[in-house]
Structure 1
Amino acid sequence: MIARTAAIAGIGATEFSKDSGRSELRLAAEAIRAALDDAGLRPSDVDGLVTFTMDDNAEIAVAREIGAGELTFLSRIGYGGGAACAVVQQAVLAVATGIASTVVCYRALNERSGRRFGQATLPPGLDASWHYPMGLATPAAMVAMVARRYMHDYGATTDDFGRVTVSARRYAATNPAAWFFGRPITLDDHRASRWIAEPLRLLDCCQESDGAVALVVTSAERACDLRRPSAVISAAAQGSGTDQFVMTSYYRDEVAALPEMGVVARQLWGQSGFGPGDVRTAVLYDHFTPYVLMQLEELGFCGRGEARHLIASADCPPINPNGGQLGEAYIHGMNGIAEAVRQVRGTAANQVPGDGPVLVTAGTGVPTSGLILSAA
């Protein structure tokens, strides 16, 4: 078992912007150095690096820039934002098996000033010839298909989606690190935002951001002796569902579902011994608002089709107290993991009271991953 064998001992990030003015390699180095300083470690302590297949920064280049020495573990995870928590899982596996002792997970991107993910691009290795010509060529267009089906099946409305954004922006408004700091919105603002791909409006879609985030993973025992309180990794999971595709799984009998998150959820609850009722706050990957509702259902917080009622009630756990990717920044979910660490430490801008675990998820609509973090 890997549960509670490792911990996140350090977190670091650059500022989040729309034009960083520097290379992605420099952003990565800045975030990693900040994370190492947070943990009280030196670059020479690093012997493992993990990132996304979509990250353009080669591990050996990053190692040179930060001044690391020999590396004994290198790994990359695919499927875009679905990799966020899986890079931490890879680090846990390396630490738990003794392959490496100090593993840094990083993601750096100039997604607003450089390559913009919201544009139409053909994903490599996928047979998209039968749906791209029909206009399903952007993530928003693909997710709109799922959102429309979800509305049809369960009676959800665009206002239900809008409540996710309103909540995220309310938290972002009181988080100084958030791009939308000081700028909350109302449900009427959501209703007035332009269509991107019906039924998705502009305010249903996450940001395009420049920035970087890094995490330092080491053994839970060693982390207790480092500079800052650590967040113990009580569970780490990755999963793909049957007939998985990207970003809408057209081959499934039930289109309006995220069974890959169900695969992850069963592992998380099984590894950790926790359940949905134990969670203090959930940091859910909010690239598109409908997928936040569907995640709540797959994770077991409510039944299928019931999330729209849950988010409007007092029974809903606090979601994305940093503002999420809708309000803080879109760093492919890595800023959500950093927020979970702050919640465990008790240092978050919008600190959620209690001592329960914090749940984190990665990108949905693709093979995905998740974490449960708790205090040492």
Structure 2
Amino acid sequence: MRVTLVVGMHRSARRHTVDALLAESDGSVVVHHDMSEIGEGTVRRLTRDGTGAVDEHEGDLVHACASCTVREDLIPFLLRTAGEGAHDLCVVEAWDGVEPRLIAESIADEEALHLTAVIAAVRSEDLLDDLYCHDLLEDRGLDIAQDDERSVTEVLSRQVEYASAITVHGADAEHGTDGIRALLEQLNPAAAVIGAGSVLAGFTRGTFDTEAAHARSNPAWAWYGDRADGRVRTVTWTRTRPLHPERFAEALEGVVSLGSRGRGRFWLAGRPDDLLVWESYGDLLMVEHGGPWLAALPEAALELVPEARRVRARLDWNPEIGDRRQHLAFTGVDMEVDELIGLLDSCLVTDEESGQEFLTDPFAEFSER
């Protein structure tokens, strides 16, 4: 059975997209898990077809979260539906605060299911506000697990950046639909960005490659390029000199204030083995340990590294430093690019500082555990 996944923080846009898919595909069915009461351990599964509601099932989950909903209810439902043979296509409409990767990979792992596309639906009037806001999912009642501390902009960005297609609904008077389209195309150059009313049936006949989606959206080894479309710009900062730990830590607030969406990897002086991952959403910054640089691994260990990362490392390879480098991309509207680049460059180790020992490391908590 073919399965098309639709995600989106903006409920009305997501519903319009699902309705369009349902109308264009005879014999299709929609399944949606309402997680508004997941905090009480209850999730309602709603199914409908072209004639209206088909079934409503309320389930009690022992460990209430999005991942257990997928594991304990969605995948078994899809497999039963596929086995019954009554529907050739099932459209999975995800809950507002759900990120697509877990669902997509779970569907793709099943031989009886064929994942055709991941579609992110956005409402143009709300997109910029939500990409720049400080709201947590909890503030909007959209959290889907205990201690869910994710932000609205974090989840929305991941929905947009993982998808193979993005449907845009509404019209933005201040920035214009062209600006919204440019921003989405730069956040996810691999996605088809289409307007409301476009024919979507083609997306129910393709194949979604989960490995490729993970590779292009994983900042530990993804490649980013420069692009400018009107007021929207993506600038990629790539250098082959390490960053001074203290100077970079002091500059972080300024860096995140100048770039709306940042992603990539960076190399600190005094940490020759550690690849650190950068993800920023507005002025929210997350730094994680991304494992070792491949140049720090013994030859035998390289076979255990994902192929996408090995390919990227070979393209970046330097005879002296291997794949170690700075590779940070920032996408935003009306960014002060020269100021951003100048600030980042000021954090690089100078010739005089090269080779010295760095006793103070503000990033020590991100050492590999």
Answer yes or no: same fold by TM over 0.5.
Answer: no
TM-score normalised over the length of structure 1: 0.29
**What TM-score, normalized to structure 2?**
0.30
Choose between structure 1 and 2 for higher RCO, CA contacts under 8 A separated by at least 6 residues.
1
**Larger radius of gyration between Structure 1 and Structure 2:** 2
